[in-house]
Structure 1
């Protein structure tokens, strides 16, 4: 794997999903937007599904990450975790004030 292909996030990184509501298909579920999770593992690279769903062939290829969220973070209740496969462009590194 070349340096440009190295994952931006590693297992254990605290990330927050972007809160956005695009006017087109997105694989970032509404219930997970703006939420705090932990990277479980990078899963490989794939074309961004949001662009592919528009019938375009110019989708950027991004790293996909398994990200674990506490059910309480997503829905306000529940004692279990949920793991979602999310594209790199849906995530940002959590900063000060983002801790649980």
Structure 2
């Protein structure tokens, strides 16, 4: 009987370790979305966090100072920021915004 009692916590620990590993680690998933907005020029990149990898759908922005900001996917600020970063990714770095081709 005592072996069964010891086996249950072990199985729970293994299950939890596997689920965190499958999510890419809790540190890589946004657990909460805050209303933080950052100036577009301070954003460096973004990626979309989706299920089932992480429990919360979010857009994760990275700033030029390597800070992570978790944003609501359907908010106007989020969509504007994603479009801005996508446009900058397509534009060659040697051209400024005001350059005429």
Q: Does TM-score exceed 0.5, indicating one fold?
A: no
Q: Which structure would you say has the larger Rg?
A: 2
With structure 1 as the length reference, what TM-score do the two structures score?
A: 0.32
With structure 2 as the length reference, what TM-score do the two structures score?
A: 0.32
With a CA cutoff of 8 Å and minimum separation of 6, indicate the structure with the bigger relative contact order: 1
